[in-house]
Structure 1
Amino acid sequence: MFILELTYTAPLDRIDAALSDHVAWLEQGYAAGHFIASGRKDPRDGGVIIAAGIDRATAEKLAAEDPFVREGVCEYRITQFVATKTAPALAEYREQLPS
């Protein structure tokens, strides 16, 4: 599982100008089954996406395709973790530690 942390590198007016394309890109990620949660940080200096069922190369590719990245208004920090415990509603996303 991955945490994709976005940090804005441009003023909010430039973020807002690219927001509809970013939201459309998010919708594609949800439709493909890659994303399970996303939202703005508070304060609004970036966002967070939780992705599952993909490998690091795919996470990096998805981040590079984000319109925010293409417009040069954010940077990504990608953190991989093994979700060995989840809430019952997220049981399908539980993972096993590597042997």
Structure 2
Amino acid sequence: MHYFMIEGTFYGPVPVSPEELENVIKEHIAYLQRGFNEGWMLFSGPKAQTGGGIILMKAGSMEEVEQFLADDPLKKSGVQEYHVVEFRFHDGQPEVKSWFS
């Protein structure tokens, strides 16, 4: 299994109206729920200062991650781009170690 830290960043200016953005964000959150339900997403959340967010997930390959992100409503609507970093797990708090095994 491979581990990935993903940073999403909104394009500026955001290419949709505030109402559309709110709807797309709701769709995005629902889309991410699949990863939590299936256990391959550890966390996600918005960045504190700017549009976009952070996701930590595991997958069999970078290609799987890229396909998942390509189907994300924020990506499909042209609101957000992604930067993906693959990393190797070294150590962590006891509460999360089992997720990495």
Tell me, in whole angstroms, the C-alpha distance in 1 between the residues paired with 2:31 and 2:5. 17
1:15-54 matches, within 5 Å, as: 15-54=21-60
Query: Percentage identity across aligned positions?
Result: 26
Indicate if the aligned counterparts of 2:9 and 2:81 stay in contact, CA closer than 8 A: yes
Tell me, in whole angstroms, the C-alpha distance in 1 between the residues paired with 2:62 and 2:68. 10
Q: CA shift at 1:53, angstroms? A: 4.3
Tell me, in whole angstroms, the C-alpha distance in 2 between the residues paired with 1:33 and 1:79. 19
Q: CA shift at 1:29, angstroms? A: 1.6
Aligned with residue 63 of structure 2, among 35, 57, 65: 57
Please provide the CA RMSD for this pair: 1.8
Secondary structure of the residue aligned to 2:70 is helix
The unaligned stretches of length 5 or more in structure 2 are none
Match of 1:5? Answer: 7
Indicate if the aligned counterparts of 1:18 and 1:68 stay in contact, CA closer than 8 A: yes
AA at the equivalent of 1:68: L
Q: CA shift at 1:42, angstroms? A: 0.9
Q: CA shift at 1:83, angstroms? A: 0.9
Aligned residues: 95
Deviations 1:18-57 (A, max 9, x none): 0111011011121122211000001132100000243211
The unaligned stretches of length 5 or more in structure 1 are none
Bigger proportion of residues as strand: 2
* Larger RCO (alpha carbons 8 Å, 6+ apart): 2
Q: Tell me the TM-score normalized by structure 2.
A: 0.83
Secondary structure of the residue aligned to 2:69 is helix
Match of 2:82? Answer: 76
